[in-house]
Amino acid sequence: MVPAGDIAVPFVGNGARPLVKPKAHKGDALPGGRDYFSGNQILKLLPRTAQDFLSPFLEQVELGRDESLFEPGDNVTHAHFPLGPTIVTLILPMRDGRAVEAATIGREGAVGGIVSLGLTPAFTRASVQIPGKAARISISRLESAKRAAPKLHDILTRYADCLTAQVLQSVGCTALHSLEARCARWLLMTHDRLQQPDLPLTQEALAEMFGVARTYVTRIASGLQERGAISYRRGVIRIVRRSVLEEATCECYGLVRQHFERVLPGLYPTAEL
């Protein structure tokens, strides 16, 4: 395994990737049924009184691949709760056009304005990695709901702690661990969030997220494929043997998962295979 620091990174992924502007979503109000709350672990954990309070203000939107929910400096107007397999990544775009992933958020979480009081400027870009549905609510409504439903406030504050832990661990991982270990960690995290073995991801997208040239990702993916961990066909990475990925990754995957489990039991969705 090659330590991350030993790789002379000649090219980093890709502020040049075409940026898909946010759509003016016409959200569909969520019908009163409780099914919508099962698609997102935070919404699912809420007591029924808090769900009842949120229901009228949540709307369902379709998020397209590479769609930007917000850019650095934007006022964040809505919080999004990814539903089912939808995944959003927080990305740090640099001035020279390079960019790197800072966090991955799926059914276990929420994107934007989770702990802020009112509108605040975004620090990162939020980009849709795997398209699908999300429930969204305006930040002002969310603030009202947090005041009215202390359990919602508590869960979101605890989730913010888990998200911070994920980002902090990612700093250590990027600095100290090999690209293969990081890649395995990301595949495990994505598998957990999707709850299905086929991850609709290109190697280009992975290279962009890790901030490395695609050739590095191709080499890592080939190694994992030879060991029976994954298979790859154009645009889809299939998890074949999760146990091999668990051996290939570093402690960072398990530490973040454990933190989620201690701070918010029942929130983190672990995939089986």
Residues 32-51: x where in contact with Zn ion by CB under 5 A, - otherwise, as a string: --------------------
Quick one: 198 exposed, middle or buried, by C-beta within 10 A (0-12, 13-18, 19+)?
A: middle
Q: Which is nearer to Zn ion, 134 or 184 (CB)?
A: 184
- C-alpha 59/C-alpha 31 separation (Å) is 9
CB of 237 to Zn ion, least distance (A): 19
Q: What is the greatest pairwise CA distance in the chain?
A: 54
Q: Which is nearer to Zn ion, 61 or 173 (CB)?
A: 173
**Residue 163 half-sphere exposure, CB side, CA atoms within 13 Å?**
24
Q: Which is nearer to Zn ion, 75 or 258 (CB)?
A: 258
Q: Which is nearer to Zn ion, 3 or 121 (CB)?
A: 3
Contacts of 238 (CB under 8 A, 6+ apart): 197, 198, 199, 230, 231, 232
Which among 57-65, 172-180, 202-210, 213-221 is the span making contact with Zn ion, rule CB under 5 A? 172-180
Q: Which is nearer to Zn ion, 16 or 171 (CB)?
A: 171
Q: Which is nearer to Zn ion, 128 or 252 (CB)?
A: 252
Please list the residues that pair with 236 across neighbouring strands.
233
Please tell me whether residue 245 binds Zn ion under the rule CB under 5 A: no
Residue type, 173: C
Total binding residues for Zn ion by CB under 5 A?
4
- C-alpha 19/C-alpha 17 separation (Å) is 6
- C-alpha 187/C-alpha 249 separation (Å) is 10
Please tell me whether residue 259 binds Zn ion under the rule CB under 5 A: no
Please tell me whether residue 256 binds Zn ion under the rule CB under 5 A: no
**Residue 81 · residue 134 · CB < 8 Å:** yes
Please tell me whether residue 214 binds Zn ion under the rule CB under 5 A: no
Segment holding 130, helix H or strand E: strand 125-130
Please tell me whether residue 250 binds Zn ion under the rule CB under 5 A: yes
Binder to Zn ion among 173, 209, 224, 230 (CB under 5 A)?
A: 173
Binder to Zn ion among 133, 146, 177, 191 (CB under 5 A)?
A: 177
Interface with Zn ion by CB under 5 A: which residues? 173, 177, 250, 252
